[in-house]
Structure 1
Amino acid sequence: MCGIAGIFNLSSNPPPQRQTLETMIHTLHHRGPDGYGFFHNEKVGLAHARLSIIDLEGGWQPIYNEDKTIAIVFNGEIFNYPELRRELISRGHRFSTHSDTEVIVHLYEEKGKDCLDELNGQFALAIYDDREKSLFLARDRMGIRPLFYTIHGGRLYFGSEVKAIFAADPHLPRVINTGVLQEIFTFWSPAANETIFSGVRQLGPGCRIIINGDGRMTEEQYWEIPFHPDELSDKSEMQLADELRDLLINAVRLRLRADVPVGAYLSGGLDSSAITSMIRHYTNNDLKTFSVTFTDRVYDEQPQQRLMADYLHTDHHEINCDYNSIAAAFPEVIRHTETPILRTAPTPLYLLSSLVHDHHYKVVLTGEGADEVLGGYDLFKEAKVRAFIARNPDSAMRAMLLKRLYPYLALSPAKSTAYARRFFDTDAPLDDPFYAHRPRWKTTSGIQRFLVDEIS
């Protein structure tokens, strides 16, 4: 990952200063330790902290078009950049680097805000157009790369993390948004694009912002997940599985387009094991794998991890976590999340990333997101079981199905039928679109009892 930050004057203000941009981007050194780049004039200031992955020598940012009327700072990776580059060159564009970032500049020259339709990747970006005196901010379709912004004193401040924004001006308000705090202590995250800090917003997944030279700002969604439940495929389950397999193999190959070695996280579960297997069997890359093990055997999956690593003949590395190491690292995790979190689960992954860094790797592939897309969580089975019970709530036999849920959890709420009925009961109708989530929202919101009266 890289880091970006910047300032845009919405009205008559002094020009952004290089020193301010340096202060902002230095807070993101952990995102881009390989160096910094800057651009500023009377209207805008852009800053970039680089993690070199593609075009190690020539990909320094900001990157410009041929006449330097368009400048970009970019965090992420465009996986289809070689194909886009060839098309752009055939249409007369001249490139000064071999970076994936530069294709965006030339696409923007041709298509403006619609350049995003051509990109297969994960990104957060800022483009300044000196011809229009305008700023363009955008985030990838799924919101993998973060981008925050706020407006204060006639200026828009933005950054990959909130700490970069706060570093710009000591007068920027630093106030907890109590409404968002309540949302986090119910839904586990903000319900919309506000953050825990009042006045600071996160640009939503698949969204972009256009700010004209006169300061008029438009925020719009350019993409959303297509959902067509009534359009059932006439293909067989095996045909659909083959299509999914081909898509996954292609996605893995695209993500290995880098000028640095790429490793893989190996949790021992199906998703990371499948990704790791595809790297091994469908590419010629040398393969390092990285795993977290736990002193507490309730959570440890070391046997499954080692079984897969041995089977695929990977260069395997492990880091062990116990309660003390998790507790010691947790404050640093909060510094990076910049928001309250309800579990310590991100901490072992943070420690795992330090293992990757110690082996001088900058890129790893993971199986994150597969449970959400493919229905892997027991949450989905749970909703079906609850709906089945609700159709005959007086049945003692149906309620016993709850004990089949979460057998792998040491503190499973389903171990006792009576307790499970109380835990999962929410009085929600079966057609409630949030039916599957209601039990967690009910139990999580109990945390608010510990808040002071002014918040709760």
Structure 2
Amino acid sequence: MELAVYDCQYGTLGLYLAGMIEKGSPKRILIDKIEVGQTMCGIAGIINFTGNEDKQDLLTRMVALMHHRGPDASGVYMHGPVGLGHARLSIIDLSSAGNQPLHNEDKTVWIVFNGEIFNYPELRNELEAKGHRFYSQTDTEVLVHLYEEKGTDMFPLLNGQFALAIWDANTQSVLLARDRVGIRPLFYHHQNGRTLFASEIKALLVDPSVPRQLDPVALSDVFTCWTPLRELTPFTNIYQMLPGHWARIDSGGLHVQSFWSPDFAHEDDGERSLADWVEELRSLLLDASRIRLRADVPVGAYLSGGIDSTYISSLVKRNFNNRLSTFSVSFSDTRFDESSYQSIAVRSLKTDHQDVRCTEADIGALFPKIIWHTETPIIRTAPAPLYMLSRLVRQSNFRVVLTGEGADEIFAGYNIFKEDKIRRFWARQPESKERPKLLERLYPYIFSGTNVRSRQFLEGFFKKDLLATDSPVYSHLLRWHNTSQLKTFLADSFRPTDNSLDSFVGRFCEKLPNDFMRWSTVSRAQFTEISIFLSNYLLSSQGDRMAMANSIEGRFPYLDHRVIEFACRVPKRFRIHGLDEKFLLKQAARKMIPDELVDRAKQPYRAPISRCFFGDVRLEYVEEMLSEKQIRAKGYFNADKVGRLVAKCRNRQGSLLSERENMALVAILSTQLLDQQFVRGFPAYEAEDVPSPVVYD
């Protein structure tokens, strides 16, 4: 039996949820059209092998709470132990034939899919040659037939960014999977033979049986490396599917398997010329950009003024789209502003460019909404300007943007990689007074103008764990040690049993590749950064979640798996040449983009912090969340220590706060908001009028 409400552009689901439409009633009801934005997709599902349950109402509410991810259409499929839900963006095949869930010819295999498979036309041709028949033009349907051919061996064949669920009625099992580097999110709760999964945690929390409580270990991780480690999320018994993994769920339980991981074991140490490496990289990035322009809607690009985004925009402008539209964010605070470099890029590329200016007041006003979308505590305000940037893209009637994310991780662009190199050099002569001076080249703004006593303090800071060069994570020990000082604000009653940095390092190291210590030191540092920071923070809190909040899809040419696998083979001397980071990428970009952008000093993307919350305008939510009453009531933090920090913020408006105190303020405030929105006051933002699903029973 098929039930459908086909007016997917009109808001009827809100009436359904309010009880104004009888469940299962196949009515067509027209009400005023609403502004819903257009985006990628959100998926959800219920798998219950232990007994019968009515899945339609819960699935509908799960999908409704993710309407920002895909408001063009929605659908629900239920059969036996399984219910699948989907909220759709129309980017490829804008017709209703592309609505999900989709199925194979005899309807024994069903799929819900969030993402894009960029090589789907080539895969489709191969499948049609083998006799498979298609009823849509989507990449999603390609996955159904590829699964029939290959099973779990399908994943190495995919070039894309995805999270998916496939129900196979023949094997009575569900297959969950996530792309290689975790561009698209996928969360699940598994207990007593019953599994819920969704693109966002909030959809899981719709089910009252899912615990709504914060995990002390995960929170301790955030206060160490900015994010929960590996599969943990901030919420107890809610996990993320790891990047490059799949899971099979059947009556026997849940089995997880890896299908890909960055592998630096085959670094080239031969005599291949720099010119050869440059030529191969240019060719790969050109093709990675080309296939990411596949869409039935316009594609724009983010333009930060750095080498990464400017090079991608240049490739597109020169080869594929002479009227490329680009978007950037600038700051009223000159310490963070890169608009002068953005202007250089725009003048060179001659793109149709738009800019949004971000103030401290903007960040303060937006912050509660930012936490609603990140679903995790954060220790920087950097996601907020990116939310404003994606909102600008949406307001400009674009759905898809290319970005330069990932280049720093795979081509060794961060100071942490150069810092590792300097500290190892220093460790060979730990009493040297000359070797630590190399740090001035990394942090001239810290060392400049400092007196003798200050220099001694800074050298002492960087000398921490200097001789621990045998540690698998030597490159990150200093950062983690510094950030973990934030845990001193945690209440004694909320700290995990073992709150030490050694415990955190041990949990990370126990899952490292067997040959990890045979890799070059820069490769080890890159793997650590990719597996923690890239997937769990950068592509999440600053990537998918900020774009999806405004119904925008980001695409990442540097994270094409062919580019990553190429970068893993690049000799370390072409990644960091002396102390010149991203050396190979700079050589590839030179003569394609202005020299001022290739040769500019690295400026990490950052945003203002404490003054956003204690500025000229009083923010009631800040006063409430950081009040002694609320700190004690929620129980996560030491109220006395928080009180002293807040008093310092009020009295000086952040002008004399240290970097660590700024991070602590954001971490505490975001945790308090997370509790307010998801633990005690859920849902903080109700799904209103969104499309009614097409329901298959």
Which TM bucket (shorter chain)? Answer: over 0.9
Which residue is 1:41 aligned to? 79
Cα pair 1:298 1:410 within 8 Å, conserved: no
Deviates more, 1:106-115 or 1:233-242: 233-242
Which residue is 1:249 aligned to? 286
Q: 1:222 to 1:70 in 2, by over 3 A?
A: same
Q: Distance in 2 between matches of 1:319 and 1:414?
A: 39
Which residue is 2:114 aligned to? 75
Letter in 1 for 2:138: S
Q: Distance in 2 between matches of 1:148 and 1:71?
A: 19
Cα pair 1:124 1:140 within 8 Å, conserved: yes
Cα displacement (A) at 1:420:
2.2
Which residue is 2:456 aligned to? 418
Q: Distance in 2 between matches of 1:411 and 1:446?
A: 26
Aligned pairs (5 A) from 1:120-135: 120-135=159-174
Which residue is 2:150 aligned to? 111
Cα displacement (A) at 1:227:
1.7
Q: Distance in 2 between matches of 1:22 and 1:242?
A: 50
Alignment equivalent of 1:142, drawn from 160, 164, 181: 181
Which residue is 1:175 aligned to? 213
Alignment equivalent of 1:376, drawn from 408, 413, 436: 413
Q: 1:439 to 1:61 in 2, by over 3 A?
A: same
CA displacement 1:96-128 (0-9 Å, x = unmatched): 000011100001111111121211101000000
Q: Distance in 2 between matches of 1:62 and 1:35?
A: 11
Cα displacement (A) at 1:418:
1.8
Cα displacement (A) at 1:408:
5.8
Which residue is 2:26 aligned to? none
Q: 1:371 to 1:411 in 2, by over 3 A?
A: farther
Alignment equivalent of 2:104, drawn from 22, 43, 65: 65
Cα displacement (A) at 1:232:
2.1
Q: Distance in 1 between matches of 2:388 and 2:267?
A: 44
Q: Distance in 1 between matches of 2:447 and 2:127?
A: 56
Cα pair 2:193 2:253 within 8 Å, conserved: no
Q: 1:229 to 1:353 in 2, by over 3 A?
A: same
Letter in 2 for 1:438: L
Which residue is 1:84 aligned to? 123
Cα pair 2:46 2:196 within 8 Å, conserved: yes
Alignment equivalent of 1:193, drawn from 213, 231, 246: 231
Letter in 1 for 2:493: E
Percent identity between the two aligned chains: 51
- Count of aligned pairs: 453
Cα displacement (A) at 1:352:
0.5
Cα displacement (A) at 1:287:
1.0
RMSD: 1.9
Q: 1:421 to 1:441 in 2, by over 3 A?
A: same
Cα pair 1:404 1:414 within 8 Å, conserved: no
Q: 1:233 to 1:253 in 2, by over 3 A?
A: farther
Cα pair 1:293 1:300 within 8 Å, conserved: yes
Letter in 2 for 1:307: I
Letter in 2 for 1:28: M
Letter in 2 for 1:29: H
Structure 2 residue runs without a partner (length 5+): 1-39, 496-697
Alignment equivalent of 2:384, drawn from 322, 330, 347: 347
Deviates more, 1:87-96 or 1:282-291: 282-291
CA displacement 1:258-283 (0-9 Å, x = unmatched): 00000000000000000100110111
Which residue is 1:209 aligned to? 247
Cα pair 1:13 1:154 within 8 Å, conserved: no
Q: Distance in 1 between matches of 2:119 and 2:284?
A: 14
Alignment equivalent of 1:310, drawn from 318, 322, 347: 347
Q: 1:231 to 1:242 in 2, by over 3 A?
A: closer
Q: 1:230 to 1:121 in 2, by over 3 A?
A: closer
Cα pair 2:178 2:243 within 8 Å, conserved: yes
Q: Secondary structure at the match of 1:454?
A: helix
Q: 1:289 to 1:412 in 2, by over 3 A?
A: farther
Q: Which has the higher contact order (CA 8 A, sep 6+)?
A: 2
CA displacement 1:192-227 (0-9 Å, x = unmatched): 211111100100010001122x24321110111122
Letter in 1 for 2:63: I
> Are 2:276 and 1:239 equivalent residues in the alignment?
yes
> Are 2:55 and 1:56 equivalent residues in the alignment?
no
Q: Secondary structure at the match of 1:437?
A: helix
Cα displacement (A) at 1:365:
0.4
Which residue is 2:692 aligned to? none
Cα displacement (A) at 1:414:
12
Q: Distance in 2 between matches of 1:219 and 1:10?
A: 18
Which residue is 2:423 aligned to? 386
Q: Distance in 2 between matches of 1:352 and 1:328?
A: 15
Q: Distance in 2 between matches of 1:104 and 1:414?
A: 62
Letter in 1 for 2:306: G
CA displacement 1:19-78 (0-9 Å, x = unmatched): 211100011111112121110122111111111110011311111101111110000000
Letter in 2 for 1:238: A
Q: Which has the higher strand share?
A: 1
Q: Which has the higher helix share?
A: 2
Q: Secondary structure at the match of 1:199?
A: coil
Deviates more, 1:252-261 or 1:229-238: 229-238
Letter in 1 for 2:155: L
Alignment equivalent of 1:451, drawn from 478, 486, 490: 490
Q: 1:258 to 1:233 in 2, by over 3 A?
A: farther
> Are 2:472 and 1:441 equivalent residues in the alignment?
no
Which residue is 2:432 aligned to? 395
CA displacement 1:286-331 (0-9 Å, x = unmatched): 3110000000111111111122112111110000011110111121
Q: Secondary structure at the match of 1:30?
A: helix
Q: Distance in 2 between matches of 1:446 and 1:139?
A: 33
Cα pair 1:64 1:70 within 8 Å, conserved: yes
Cα displacement (A) at 1:231:
4.3
Letter in 2 for 1:422: G
Alignment equivalent of 2:374, drawn from 313, 337, 346: 337
Cα pair 1:27 1:163 within 8 Å, conserved: yes
Alignment equivalent of 2:469, drawn from 415, 430, 433: 430
Structure 1 residue runs without a partner (length 5+): none
Cα pair 1:139 1:204 within 8 Å, conserved: yes
CA displacement 1:379-413 (0-9 Å, x = unmatched): 11111111222222222222222222133679999
Cα pair 2:46 2:55 within 8 Å, conserved: no
Q: Distance in 2 between matches of 1:311 and 1:400?
A: 37
- For normalisation by structure 2, the TM-score amounts to 0.63
CA displacement 1:390-443 (0-9 Å, x = unmatched): 222222222222222133679999995323212222225223221121111111
Q: Distance in 1 between matches of 2:451 and 2:245?
A: 40
Q: Distance in 2 between matches of 1:63 and 1:414?
A: 67
Letter in 2 for 1:64: H
Q: Distance in 1 between matches of 2:265 and 2:368?
A: 43
Letter in 1 for 2:71: P
Q: Distance in 2 between matches of 1:215 and 1:262?
A: 44
